[in-house]
A = this chain, B = another copy of it.
Amino acid sequence: MTEFELIERYFDWGEGIGDDCALIEVDAHQQLVATVDTLIEGVHFPKETNAHDIAYKALAVNLSDLSAMGATPLYFTLALTLPAMNEKWLQDFSCTLKTLAQTYNIRLVGGDTTKGALSITINATGVVKCQALMRSGAKVGDSIFVSNTIGDAALAWQQMQVQEIPSIDLLKQFNRPEPQVKLGQSLLGVANSCIDISDGLQQDLSHILTRSKVGATINVDALPLSNEVTQHINNTDDWCIALAGGDDYELCFTVSKAQLDSIQSIEKELGIVLTKIGMITNGQGLIIKGLNETCQSYRHF
């Protein structure tokens, strides 16, 4: 099969793929927001992961990056490296990719397919009308929030590494994380700073602190945890699964006192849980109360 036939069969969703590049119209007075993420078999997902789950996560992690800026998804490109032509795999992959793309109204505009170890790189672009959410805006006195629960995906991954089968809930968080696109958009003009915590809360919150030149104190007892993660921590005292496990596609953001009411409204409107875990201080670095050890953050090498 030529690349041309492959694209036509699986990725031409009637949106005009065909020239050397894609053409995209952008309205005036908008800022583009661009991000890229690669998923590699054996590194980001186990070898036995099905094509549906791989497609979902490859796009979802990029949508999560867009959400952290408060952006509205616009378009994406797909660079797909496959060990061999596998029509069933491609059918499954493109089916779920298309469904998720339609859910978030993001258009596939181009791609490249190559032969090699299984790897998926998606480049997603969104737009922001006014001021995007940034890592650099946290102010002393801000409350620090995290969306939903954390540590679930990391616990699933840990269990899979020792051949345990995670529960359906944990697996869902690992394979099908919900990008917080609506939350990000709702936080525009409300939050002072925001980040997605895909590398783990500890490391990613530290990026906010560095960029904003502030400190923070958080309390482990305040962390929003699922029952399974709570149980795991009770058994092992392993708080690091929640603080540094990574693969949490939730948002961590900071909010001034004046905006706390807005947070309650957003919670109600979106039907999600936003938990205050600490405060921005005029100190240096991140103080984690209740933690007796140091967590090793996710390292890419």
Q: Which residues does A use to contact B, with CB under 8 Å?
A: 1-4, 6, 18-38, 40, 42-44, 64-66, 68-69, 71, 75, 77-79, 81-82, 84-85, 109-117, 119, 121, 123, 125-126, 128, 132, 134-136, 195-196, 199, 203, 207, 211, 297, 299-301
B19 touches A110 (CB 8 A): no
C-alpha spacing A115/B40, complex, angstroms:
8
Q: Whole-angstrom distance from the CB of A76 to the nearest CB of chain B? A: 9
Given contacts A33-B22, A300-B6, contact A43 B115 (CB under 8 A): yes
B77 touches A38 (CB 8 A): no
CB contact between A79 and one of B20, B38, B114, B301 (< 8 Å): that residue: B38
A26 touches B23 (CB 8 A): no
- Counted per complex, copies of this chain come to 2
A24 touches B34 (CB 8 A): yes
Q: Whole-angstrom distance from the CB of A104 to the nearest CB of chain B? A: 15
Given contacts A2-B297, A21-B35, A196-B20, contact A114 B44 (CB under 8 A): yes
C-alpha spacing A36/B114, complex, angstroms:
12
A28 touches B28 (CB 8 A): yes
Pairs across A and B, CB under 8 Å, 10 listed: A1-B300, A3-B199, A3-B300, A19-B134, A20-B35, A26-B30, A36-B112, A38-B121, A40-B116, A116-B117
Q: Whole-angstrom distance from the CB of A204 to the nearest CB of chain B? A: 9
C-alpha spacing A212/B29, complex, angstroms:
35
C-alpha spacing A6/B299, complex, angstroms:
11
Across-interface contacts of A85 in B (CB, < 8 A): 301
Across-interface contacts of A6 in B (CB, < 8 A): 300-301
B31 touches A28 (CB 8 A): no
Known: A19-B135, A20-B68. 4 other contacts (CB 8 A): A23-B132, A25-B31, A35-B110, A43-B114
Given contacts A22-B33, A26-B32, A69-B20, contact A40 B195 (CB under 8 A): no
Q: Whole-angstrom distance from the CB of A91 to the nearest CB of chain B? A: 15
B23 touches A31 (CB 8 A): yes
Across-interface contacts of A64 in B (CB, < 8 A): 20
A77 touches B22 (CB 8 A): no
Across-interface contacts of A38 in B (CB, < 8 A): 79, 81, 112, 114, 121
Cβ-closest chain B residue relative to A300? B3
Q: Whole-angstrom distance from the CB of A47 to the nearest CB of chain B? A: 13
